[in-house]
Chain A
Amino acid sequence: MNIRDKIIRETKSRLTAPGSDETRGLFANLLLAGKNLSLYPKGHSICVNSIEQFHARLDAFIRRWGDVKIEVERERVIFGGDIVHTGSLEEGTLPFTLFRDGIRWLEFTSGVGLDEVRELLSILNRYAVLSAEPEGDIVTALWEAQFAHVQYEAANFFSGLDGDRPDGTIESGARHSAAEDEVHGKTPYQNEPAIDPACLTLTPQELADLEEMIHCEETADASSRLNMLLDSLLQYQDEDDFGVILDVLSDEFTDSLVRHDFEASLIILDGLQYVLDSGRIRAPWAGRLTESFYHKISDAAHLKPLEDVWSNMHMSRAAVLGSVFQRLQPRAVSTLARLLLIHKPEQLEQMLEDAVISLVRQDANCLDPIVNDTDERAAARLAPVLYKLGGEVSKKYLMKLARHASPSVRLAAVKSMARGHEIEAADIFRFIDDPDEAVRRAVLKHMGRSRDEVVEDVLLHYLQNSHFNSSQDEHVLSCFRALGQCGSERSVPFLRKTLLSRKWMADLKKSAYRRGALIALAGLKTPEARKVIEDASRSMHPGLRRMAREAGRIFSPENKGGQ
């Protein structure tokens, strides 16, 4: 028997159907792997295991029986030569997906690898739900995958068209086609000589150029496309056309962020500005549409990729991204402020803060959405940036933040206000009655940071005219402490009166005032204050005497610099 006969015999024997249980088992494995892929996330152990099991069984099957083909018909599935299913295909199953998308058969051939099986199942799973046209289709995905050991046949996609078009279509007609510019009305080439075949050989440099061109094409640099779109903009004189290109550019802008291709983002932004500045588009709608473009790309939806960008941001890319930020419209601040919540190195944060400040300076109203947002984190993070911004806008929005529903935002706002000198103490003092203790403490801390008659007056007025209940004793004491830190001898009469002229027994609740007055007097550290404390130490009231003695130690020689 020669090899030829042997091959025929063996191949034929391979093509005889293997045991039904074996094919059905393998088919069941395939369905299970497909199902698991649809149920579990990619990389889940159940998925991985079932694909590996299917592949192992498939490999063994092919070694024994030869290539395995799955043929899908409307009411029948043939697998490995065995009818494994009759009746309607169940939606969502792998055979249904194959049939629906016109895959007539799919064949696994000898040598099929685990990666190929995994990728194939992944493609089938991806398109299990009928996708919209722009999302591609199974046949295209299979075609592009170029599996070495998985073959398929797709049904004729063009069955609706007449494949047996009469040959008369190629006959010459009487009408003429359109003119081509290269040759229209003139003959650019005349009496051409023969081509010397030797000239056609590519030189090493030309070969290198060709390789470079292919490389550029295959790696698909976005800049060519963007420049082309910008050139189109320069040519279009119609509002609709102009608008379409701008829509595309806005999508391109977002895509460039997705790719972290900030150079492309800049090409779009700078290019568009150039188009406007060049004055080539004089139509009145050009400015409006362009303004609308910048408005659009600065919204949260178009800037959404920035979250990922910023999370993975590296210092080396900061400058170019910063340039992109600077070219956005102020409404981008809503998105940028949220990026500030992602902790990054100081230099990066500085760049981002600068961008926010720059945009806020263009239009402070962009801050409103953040200030009014129920998400307190961005608002709280915004406060120190507003401090850096300075000026009336800063004050206005910090004051707004200081009235925010969230204590943390209010605290951040007060602290930011307190950091600078632009906001008057009286303004900050407005928040002295904040329900949050930390905020009140921050206000008083600011009040007491230096001797200041204005602050002193404000505090005196507050203490003289406010009514506190016993639960506010700590607050009262803090106010007196602040008065001691910012005040002068001008406060002494009030403190004396508070300390010594009260009707003690009738107004026990006011003991916090007396303690506070002593604290304030001790803080004032003036002779007048000392005199009042000494008077108090001689009071008839034992409790007052004790407190006064304790306060008086501050003035003792051994505690000259103490509190």
Chain B
Amino acid sequence: MSDKQSIPERFGHDFLRALYHMINTVRIYQDNNQLVRKSLRTFRTLLDLMAAEDDISLFLWRGRFYIGEQKLPYVRDAATVVNAMIDFFSKRGIGSIIFLQSSRTALPEDVLAFSRLLDDSIKDGDPLSWLDQQLREEKYSWVQLFRKHDDDEASDGESADGKRYEKARQTYFHAVETVKEVANKLSQSMVGVRKARRLAQTIVDLIREDTSLMIGLTTIKDFDDYTYTHSVNVALLATCLGRYIGLSDVSLEHLAVCGLFHDLGKVGVSKDILLKEGALTDGEWEQMKKHPLIGVRKILMLNAPQSLRSRIIIAPFEHHLNPDMTGYPRTLFMVRLSLMGKILRIADVYEALTAERVYRPMPFTPDETLRKMWLAAGTNFDTVLLKSFIKMMGIYPIGSVVELGDGSIGLVMDYPNEFERGMPLVLRLVDKGNGDLKRGELVYISDEIPASGSDRLNIVRGIPPGEVHINPAEFFLHVK
């Protein structure tokens, strides 16, 4: 970090991130919670530092944050937080927040209370007016809020949110088409990977910006094109896990391509076997087991840079191998699985078990799937990565249909805290009157059994979507 940088330049993103975390923790926990105290400490440390010489002006204009008079540069790592805060400001009509120098001496509980007010203001029809009034009543003179500037259309959070959603949705379907195109063309000629790489890069960017959205998209299951949607879902889940454990962007790109292409070998397996309803004979099973090898052969036929090809070939080969190298294909030379292979295996099995299959018309629910997989930790899956996967997904992964403590049905839509997935944001599904379910309100709930007298909801169980006749993907795709 250069010494020539101004304090806002050096700490701008940290400050935004601290404010974001503080708002998110007070939304869920009481003031005396350890996480709340920690986030407050971080925020105040930065406040102290940055307000030492001047007021701190956090200003949103044309979709970019300014701190002081300095525009925060785009940093890929901070994209999630920045986008979330743009969304937060926009939904509340906030154009800027100025922490005056006197904020350094504000009482800790006042800072927390202010954070809570910021968050709660969304409940009012005119959040900013409500906030202004609250600040006056509480005599919080150390902070000032200003309305979003009239000509600042570009900062419209919902629009940015919508654009991101649309981009993610398009990327998903383009990915399906691309995998299909590559699979079909590979049988006739060499196929390039430029399109797949661009997709993979977009997937990485989108996951950085909104992991929840991308996990939500994996609820899409297409039975006609199962292999292709399965491949895209595996790519998304694997890349999310890769990002969760801290892989570099370039590795994430390669992991995404691995996911997209991991089942290319199935194109080489007879459709009679792929689409067979009953149990496979030994011969058919032998054929089926060849698909990782056929996949390797197909990946080798891709017109790809050597550096890329060499990195995307191992994981597809390994995705049916266990940590002890049992499974298939049989190996003699390989002694351990690659990280990408282990990740792909977890994503592949999770995706497969949550999909409806010919021999299992009712797919496992996401939480049930995770529990099943957890039983096989260490034997079928790398324990460390499986732990990370479950933590990333949450006990009730995004896309889970759940029964709530009050007997209602909900759909897990998000976990506000990406790294502590304890409190999901659930979309209540309400009866239209004809037995069909439609969107209801969004509620934060606890996964703990509510204490007597508590008004906090909890999740009682996960339920198969088929049991309530819904397709979770339709809610993520805003069809319903």
Contacts and interface: CB of A to CB of B under 8 A. Distances in A.
Contacts of B360: 183
B330 A235 contact: yes
Contacts of B274: 177-179
Given A111-B9, A206-B383, A140 B223 contact: no
B339 A216 contact: yes
Contacts of A226: 333
B235 interface: no
A176 B221 CA distance: 11
Nearest to A134: B305
Interface stretch (B44-52, B106-114, B350-358): B350-358
Contacts, number: 289
B5 interface: yes
B80 interface: no
A178 B275 contact: yes
Contacts of A4: 57, 59, 95-96, 98, 146
Given A181-B289, A225-B310, A227-B333, A200 B372 contact: no
Contacts of A225: 310, 313-314
Interface string B453-469: 00000000000000000
Interface stretch (A83-91, A188-196, A293-301, A402-410): A188-196
A432 to B, nearest CB: 57
A165 B329 contact: no
Interface stretch (A22-30, A244-252, A316-324, A497-505): A244-252
Contacts of B248: 218
A230 B330 CA distance: 11
B73 A206 contact: no
B194 interface: yes
Interface in A191-248: 192-195, 197, 199-202, 206, 209-210, 213-214, 216-218, 220, 222, 224-232, 234-236, 241, 244-245, 248
Interface in A156-194: 157-158, 161-163, 165, 167, 169-185, 188-189, 192-194
A154 to B, nearest CB: 8
A252 B310 CA distance: 9
Nearest to B297: A241
A493 B236 CA distance: 102
A291 to B, nearest CB: 21
Interface in B102-154: 144, 146, 149
A202 B471 contact: no
B71 A224 contact: no
A189 B372 contact: yes
A21 to B, nearest CB: 26
Contacts of B349: 180, 182
Interface stretch (B29-37, B170-178, B401-409): B170-178
B38 interface: no
A111 B73 contact: yes
A151 B274 CA distance: 45
Contacts of A178: 226-227, 266, 269, 273-275, 288
Given A163-B174, A271-B333, A7 B73 contact: no
A157 B192 CA distance: 14
Interface stretch (A141-149, A336-344, A526-534): A141-149
A122 interface: no
A192 B374 contact: yes
A49 B128 CA distance: 53
Interface string B376-392: 10001001110110110
Nearest to B219: A170
A185 B338 contact: no
B397 to A, nearest CB: 12
B264 interface: no
B334 A140 contact: no
Interface stretch (B20-28, B423-431, B434-442, B472-480): B472-480
Contacts of A181: 285, 288-289, 320, 328
Interface stretch (B82-90, B156-164, B276-284): B276-284
B230 A177 contact: yes
B451 interface: no
Most buried by A among B9, B95, B269, B387: B387
A170 B471 contact: yes
B198 interface: yes
Interface in A50-79: 67
A177 B357 CA distance: 6
B390 A195 contact: yes
B185 interface: no
Interface residues of A, number: 92
Given A109-B73, A134-B303, A188-B376, A232 B296 contact: yes
B371 interface: yes
B224 interface: yes
Contacts of B253: 143-144
A43 to B, nearest CB: 24
Contact of A171 (B59, B335, B384, B471): B471
B251 A218 contact: yes
B310 A222 contact: yes
A110 B5 CA distance: 11
A15 to B, nearest CB: 9
Nearest to A199: B387
B306 A236 contact: no
A151 B74 contact: yes
Contacts of B98: 2-4
Contacts of B174: 158, 161, 163
Contacts of A244: 297, 300-301
Contact of B314 (A135, A136, A194, A228): A228
A162 B387 CA distance: 38
Contacts of B227: 177-178
Interface in B189-215: 192-195, 197-199, 201
Contacts of A199: 387
Given A163-B170, A184-B285, A206-B387, 11 more contacts: A3-B69, A139-B201, A148-B74, A169-B224, A170-B473, A176-B356, A179-B359, A181-B328, A192-B375, A226-B333, A227-B335
Interface of B: 5, 9, 55, 57, 59, 61, 66, 68-71, 73-76, 95-96, 98, 144, 146, 149, 170, 173-174, 176-178, 192-195, 197-199, 201, 220-227, 230, 245-251, 253, 266, 269, 273-277, 279-280, 285, 288-290, 293, 296-297, 300-301, 303-306, 310-311, 313-314, 317-318, 320, 328-336, 338-340, 342, 349, 352-353, 355-360, 368, 370-376, 380, 383-385, 387-388, 390-391, 395, 422, 471, 473-474, 477, 479
19 contacts: A3-B68, A10-B69, A110-B70, A140-B198, A154-B198, A158-B170, A158-B198, A162-B173, A169-B173, A173-B222, A178-B269, A180-B357, A199-B387, A206-B387, A224-B338, A235-B293, A235-B329, A236-B297, A244-B297
Interface of A: 2-4, 6-8, 10-11, 67, 109-111, 133-137, 139-140, 143-144, 146, 148-149, 151, 154, 157-158, 161-163, 165, 167, 169-185, 188-189, 192-195, 197, 199-202, 206, 209-210, 213-214, 216-218, 220, 222, 224-232, 234-236, 241, 244-245, 248, 251-252, 255, 271, 278
What are the 9 A-B residue pairs with the smallest beta carbon separation, nearest first? A177-B226, A176-B358, A189-B372, A178-B274, A227-B333, A173-B223, A192-B371, A217-B339, A133-B192
